[in-house]
Amino acid sequence: MNIKNNIIFLLLTAFISSCYSYDNQKITIEKVTYYTEDSIPIQSTLYLPQSNLKSIIIYILSIDQERRFPDFRSKKDSIGYREILEFVSSGTGVCLLSPRVKQSINNIELMKTQTTETVATDVEKAYRFLKMQPKFSHVPIGVMGYSATGVVAAKVAARDSCIDFALLIVTPSIPIIDEADYKWTNHPETSAVPFYKSLFAEFRTFFPKDYFTYKGQVMVNSQKNPIEKQFEDCARESIRTINHNIISKIDNYDSIQYYAKKLIKENFDTKSLTQQNLLNLTGKPRNYTADEYVDELIKFWYTPQDIDFLKWEPNDYYPKINVPTLMLFAENDINIDAKGSIENSKKIIDTYKKTNFTIQVIPNVDHGFYEPYDTISFKENNKTYTKKRSELYFQSILDWLKNMHQ
């Protein structure tokens, strides 16, 4: 028997325990490293109350950010020291699961290992590890995901009947392909839209100044319809077609890239272009023809991580979730289609008669649950906006956990 193939994962655990005391709240910290079959380390930190442990949350960090953990000495730490303290003081431990790799242009190959699927597998391994510890074997263990990692949490809750509860925080709850269309139309200032537009503008430099060919039709500049706007609209239409007609229907990564490249090259007749441009797509400047640029662009644009995320369809997962689940949304969220997500979640709940879901909407807050309020800067003698995180955000989660424990 090949042990390597049959062992799901190798665990090298270094429980380096320490104690932090903050505002008289003592936290035990245990650091854990997991090694997967492909030898990629998964690092997590387990924050525990020193007594009265009621449950544990596996809290998933962003799937595309570098590893960072709360600094309890600084109230400015943005990763969520407040959540950790609130959870621990309520008797809930927090297993903060880090991403596998740091995001950068230079390690695009490593980023391919970090998708919602791989992170979901990592969560399941963390769960199994915790359950193997005698002191945690009878403690309810749930999973918590925020925004994109809410997709991970939903996948884990849907397919792993052992998970005890789920917290889906501002989780996009309509198909991500539709989510992308919503952002482009309604909130082009958010998310990846400005990045897309800058790449469209870069692609535009391969074409003549006053015209370009799109689907066999010559597009010309006019005062009513400027050529740059026409080009952006055509490029956006091509990307939307790739999302809806290629990614949604094909599972093989190489095939998706092949057909995506083919579509853009045919739509824009890139073979007729001979100009070369010095561009920096990968961190190293080089000369590209239009065809070469499309090849590099699609490879950069549609990584397995991106494709995996674009394939997210909540209707495939929410009906399978049978554990207590809190869905928390922000009323003024523009990073996701909050209204559409709430409506679709309710539709799924009604259709499948789910009684284990709780939907709450925090009023007057954005994607990060920050509420705007006015303050006067007397020094500058003008009005500025600052943000304060809603107390309802923390309290809603804590109240729900408390009710679940009862």
Q: What is the per-residue pLDDT for 2? A: 41
Q: What is the pLDDT of residues 276-312, one digit of tens each?
A: 999 887 778 889 999 999 998 898 888 888 899 999 9
Q: Which of 12-16, 84-88, 345-349, 360-364 has the lowest mean pLDDT?
A: 12-16
How many CA atoms lie within 13 Å of 362's alpha carbon, on the beta-carbon side?
24
Task: Give this prediction's pTM.
Answer: 0.87
Tell how far CA 162 is from the center of its chain: 24
Q: Which CATH entry fits the domain spanning 3-175+313-405: 1.10.287.70, 3.40.50.1820, 2.60.120.200, 3.40.50.620?
A: 3.40.50.1820
User: What is the rounded average pLDDT for all residues in the chain?
Assistant: 84
Q: Return residue ranges of the chain for CATH 3.40.50.1820.
A: 3-175+313-405
Q: What is the pLDDT of residues 97-146, one digit of tens each?
A: 877 655 444 555 555 567 888 889 889 989 998 999 999 999 999 999 99
The three-class DSSP label of residue 10 is strand
- The two three-digit tokens of residue 205, written as one number: 């430099």
Q: What is the per-residue pLDDT for 22? A: 55
Q: Which of 4-8, 112-116, 240-244, 326-330 has the lowest mean pLDDT?
A: 4-8
Place of tokens 């001979």: 274
Tell how far CA 390 is from the center of its chain: 22
Task: Yes or no: say if 400 and 357 are a contact pair by the CB < 8 Å rule.
Answer: no
Task: Yes or no: say if 130 and 95 are a contact pair by the CB < 8 Å rule.
Answer: yes
Alpha-helical segments (H) within 244-325: 253-268, 290-301, 304-310
